[in-house]
Amino acid sequence: MKMRLLVLTFLWCSSYLFAQDYFPKNDGVKSKNNNYTAFTNAKIYVTPSQIIENGTLLIQNGKVVQAGKTVSIPKNAVTIDVSGKSIYPSFIDVYSDFGIEKPKRPSRRGRTAEYEPSREGFYWNDHIMPETNSISAFKYDSKKAKGLLEAGFGVVNSHLQDGIARGTGVLIALNTEGTDANRVLDDRSAQYFSFERSVIKNQSYPTSLMGTTALLRQMYSDMNWYAQGKSDTKDRSLEALIANKNLVQIFEGKDRGNDLLADQIGDANGIQYAIVAGGDEYENMAEIKATGAKYILPLNFPDAFDVSNPYQAGYVSLEDMRNWNQAPLNPKMMSDNGISFSFTMHDSKSAAKFKENLMKAITYGLSKTKALEALTTVPAAILGKSSKIGTLQAGSYANFLITSGDVFEKSTTLYENWVQGNKTIVNDINVKDIRGDYSLYTDGATFKISISGEISKPKVEIKQDTLKLTSKISYANDWLDLSFSTDEGDKVYRMTGLVTESDELSGRLILPNGKESFFKADKLKGFEEKEKDEKDKKAPKIMPITYPNIGYGYTSIPQQETTLFKNATVWTGEEAGVLKNTDVLVKNGKITKIGTNLNAGSAKVVDATGKHLTAGIIDEHTHIALLDVNEAGQNSSAEVTMEDVVNIEDMNIYRNLAGGVTSGQLLHGSANPIGGRSAIIKLKWGESAKNMIYDNSPKFIKFALGENVKQSNWGSFSRFPQTRMGVEQVYMNYFQRGKEYDALKKSGKPYRYDQEMEVIAEILNGERFISCHSYVQSEINMLMKVADKFNFKINTFTHILEGYKVADKMKEHGVGASTFSDWWAYKYEVNDAIPYNAAIMHSQGITVAINSDDREMSRRLNQEAGKIVKYGGVSEEEAWKMVTINPAKLLHLDDRTGSIKVGKDADLVLWSDHPLSMYAKSEKTMVDGAVYFDLEKDKLQREAIARERNELINMMLQEKESGKPTRKPMKKDKEEFHCDSL
């Protein structure tokens, strides 16, 4: 009977699905199978929360007819009794590349960058490819489908994963028996975006994350402009973008910062993306939730590090150890915060690993209902296909799994995965469970056989007394083959037998001497899950998240305190000069009183006797706290903003605070004559990027001159400009165009919005200030003359190492200078750089600041100011101003910070010694009245880090001992950015 049923099902499947009504048939007669199939006595998960015990699922023509407790089964129904089994909707993966060949990077000759697009009639940037339709690249892959079906998936949503704008995807039912006519559920299922360049295209722009975001913004603005019929030329990319506008929009974020960035881009254009998450969202739940997006979550939790070698363990940062410990918590945290998410196999090494991590997420507290939703209803909802897939409600595709029990239990067997009414057998549903302990007597000895593992893939352990023997098992098509050896492999026993209804195992036995015999093993007891599995179900201790979530992060973000610094030597940076034995009161983040014998009231009193209190140091030129520094794909990158790439997890923020730095201008690099817009931040360690960036931030842009922009020091000869003569012309061209653009815009006539020109117009209108990387006198003079021609002023020359040669001209122009104390000799254009530069410029009445452009020097800018006393004899007070109020002036922040004055932000540093001295240490660094660095707290942090590292190392050692996979210790490379980092 069993056999007959199997054959029947098979016939029935293949008969109807190939038939398409209006297709002629020449190899037989047209026939249709309109029979029903009923699955009875099952536990049916109609939806993750609607569960029917002992129910019936009725399907016909590949769709669900009914699922319920009492279903009247039509006469022309084939009934399959699945009592004791469970039925779930098959899983859906929203983010797959199924059936689409992975794009390969073509081998390239030479290293010269390509600046021009390779296409005609499309968008100007090759990485914008919304015209791609994945359906045209799609080819059903039966082999991969098998793997997915075995993992429980019934529908996958696939697309060509290449480029920034990637075009449309295709929704596929994994119906191997069918044709694309059945399986392709939607050939324009969604539109896709990412922050990653195309691997098959070689156009150099964008080289950076901020370039990518700028490109996306410009693309959308161009789309709207094009939609209004304003373009004279044809752009098939923009046309496709317009055509795809109403599809589901999916953005691959890949880490929590990028998730937010993607959402911002969407918000600005009235689009809500579904976002492919990175797995680290748990570190910033509030902001992630605020996006309102649905998330698509890869399940690729990191393996533990192999820390058995203590020396190698030293290379692993606390951040990475914690990531191993905390990442499996991400799904639970997202669920707890009411964030809707689906799971994807994207980025999983294998289906087995995906399943293992899914179980892990549940062990870490994710509810099984939410897990099931993430595999069924949520992906269906993301795709707008809830009525067709993801549930077993009437009318849905008959996509479902039959399992031995709870699909999220390790010991559960998945028997069958039905897609569009077509069955794929994963494990034989009729296979007998032979797991358990048996006793075998043969050849004068007793052996104990223990069979465990999965029902259809059992494992065996055979013991003679307590001695474990080498053994093998194979179990297929009801036949069991067993072998084991004794006497250290000398004697091999082989057995083979048909498994019957009986509880015992029996069959042919071949003895070590080759003689054939029979065996009969009596069952002692059935199989029980071991305690080890129970242990697995307990989540390990999870380390608390800190702000930021790396070493030296705080368990809570420092808060403003009313603080009285008592009896300090106060370097006001104002006309009052240096005040001895003076008190400074801080309240609500502001300096409220300066005087002697101030009343403490309820303030926290800091005894500053013998210590020096100064304003916090401001670094006019720094590249810490950034994810990227140069957009080098074009010679102008005014469209990019560093505010897009602020990295709050940079340890240099903390180390800078320890050096008394409270504010910094995060500048774009010096790859281009016209660089990118700045992010000006306060170093609020632990806060979000948004909270670090100044409110009402003054607007700045980086310009650059000389060797870097003409690419003198690396083998690049194809980009304009290659000489200082060309640099001038870049400016003339851009400012002229900016002027014309602004005039057109102000005239009220229609114009194409251009981010770059908007920024240039801001400069011309005095709304945005230039900080220009500069070295030799000729170019410094040139840029001032260009500005004069366009009636604006250069705000700051940064580096400005030959400023001393044109100090009089700079003074006349009214430009400020932000320079190094003593750097020179590293390239040809700094041959005449002298440490007296600051002193000379200062003597000519220029506002001079000392900057770092270096994450190490930035934490010792007080000492660098000390050098200005040495080289050129500037007074100590004036030298001190060069790292505080002067950079504040250059950044137009002097009304808020940079000196100790009533009403200003309480950005303060308490020094152990004279602040310009090599011997001074910051004991407290305060930003907006909250202490972000404290020498005493730092000591405690060091101890806490050592303790936590030790604890995590022990946990990882246990993980290794328990046989779990580990990876080699690794130290992440945190790239050190300078101006010329590409």
Partner 1 sequence: MKKIIYILALVCATSLTYAQQTPAPAQTEAITIEGATAHLGNGKIIENSLLMFEGGKITFVGDAKMRIARKGTIINATGKHVYPGIIAPAKSLGLVEVDAVRASDDQDELGDMIPHIRSLIAYNAESKVVESMRPNGVLIGQIAPQGGRISGTSSIVQFDAWNWEDAAVKVDDGIHMNWPNSFKQGRWWMGEERGYKPNDKYAEELDEITSFFKNSMAYGKAAAPEMNLAFKAMAGLFDGSQKLYIYTDGEKEIIDAVTLAKANGVKEIVIVGGYQAYKITDFLKENNIAVLVNFTHNNPNFEDDDYDLPYKNPKLLFDAGILVGIQNASAANFQTRNLPFYAGQTVGQGLDKEAALQLITGNNAKILGIDADYGTLEVGKSATLFISEGDALDTRSNQLSHAYIDGRNLSLETHQTELWKRYMGKYEGQK
- Can you give the binding site for partner 1, defined by CB under 8 A? 311-312, 314-315, 317-319, 550-552, 651-652, 654-655, 658, 707, 712-713, 804-805, 807-808, 822-828, 831-832, 834-836, 839-840, 843-844, 855-857, 859-860, 863, 866-867, 869-870, 872, 876, 912-913, 916-921, 938, 942, 945, 949, 968-975
Helices (H), 617-723: 651-658, 689-692
Tokens of 895: 């009304």
> Residue with structure tokens 């000519």?
844
Three-state SS for 269-330 is: CCCCCEEECCCCHHHHHHHHHHCCCCEEEECCCCCEECCCCHHHHCCCCHHHHHHHHHHHHH
List Cβ neighbours of 256 (8 Å cut-off, separation of 6 or more). 277, 278, 280, 281, 283, 284, 287, 288
Provide, rounded to whole angstroms, the least separation between the CB of residue 102 and partner 1: 14
Provide, rounded to whole angstroms, the least separation between the CB of residue 313 and partner 1: 11
DSSP string, 673-702: SEEEE-EEEE--TTS-HHHHBPTTPPPEEE
Report which of 784, 677, 673 is spatially closest to residue 729, judged by C-alpha positions: 673
Provide, rounded to whole angstroms, the least separation between the CB of residue 105 and partner 1: 9
Helices (H), 714-753: 724-747
**Nearer to partner 1 among residue 358 and residue 956 (C-beta):** 956
**Nearer to partner 1 among residue 736 and residue 875 (C-beta):** 875
Provide, rounded to whole angstroms, the least separation between the CB of residue 223 and partner 1: 33
The CA distance from 952 to 958, in Å, is 10
**Nearer to partner 1 among residue 651 and residue 704 (C-beta):** 651
Report the alpha-carbon angle 204-634-227, nearest 5. 85
**Nearer to partner 1 among residue 753 and residue 836 (C-beta):** 836
Provide, rounded to whole angstroms, the least separation between the CB of residue 459 and partner 1: 33
Provide, rounded to whole angstroms, the least separation between the CB of residue 353 and partner 1: 19
Provide, rounded to whole angstroms, the least separation between the CB of residue 866 and partner 1: 4
Provide, rounded to whole angstroms, the least separation between the CB of residue 771 and partner 1: 23
CB-count exposure of residue 30 (10 Å: 0-12, 13-18, 19+): exposed
**Nearer to partner 1 among residue 468 and residue 968 (C-beta):** 968
**Nearer to partner 1 among residue 758 and residue 822 (C-beta):** 822
**Nearer to partner 1 among residue 509 and residue 801 (C-beta):** 801
Helix axes 318-326, 935-961, angle to 10 degrees: 50
- Is the CA virtual torsion 343, 347, 350, 356 positive or negative? negative
**Nearer to partner 1 among residue 46 and residue 861 (C-beta):** 861
The CA-atom distances, in angstroms, between 972 and each of 143, 302, 316, 318, 611 are 37, 14, 8, 11, 38
Torsion of CA 650, 655, 661, 667, to 10 degrees: -30
Question: Do strands 674-677 and 661-666 pair parallel, antiparallel, or not at all (unpaired)?
Answer: unpaired
Q: Tell me how long the chain is.
A: 982
Provide, rounded to whole angstroms, the least separation between the CB of residue 526 and partner 1: 46
E strands within 200-292? 249-252, 274-276
Please, which residues bridge with residue 193 across strands? 165, 251
Longest dimension (CA), the chain: 109
Provide, rounded to whole angstroms, the least separation between the CB of residue 854 and partner 1: 10
**Nearer to partner 1 among residue 193 and residue 880 (C-beta):** 880
Provide, rounded to whole angstroms, the least separation between the CB of residue 630 and partner 1: 16
**Nearer to partner 1 among residue 195 and residue 552 (C-beta):** 552
**Nearer to partner 1 among residue 694 and residue 824 (C-beta):** 824
CB-count exposure of residue 303 (10 Å: 0-12, 13-18, 19+): middle
DSSP state of 492: E
Buried b (16+ CB within 10 A) or exposed e, 703-713: bbbbbbbbbee
Provide, rounded to whole angstroms, the least separation between the CB of residue 101 and partner 1: 19
**Nearer to partner 1 among residue 93 and residue 934 (C-beta):** 934
The CA distance from 783 to 798, in Å, is 13
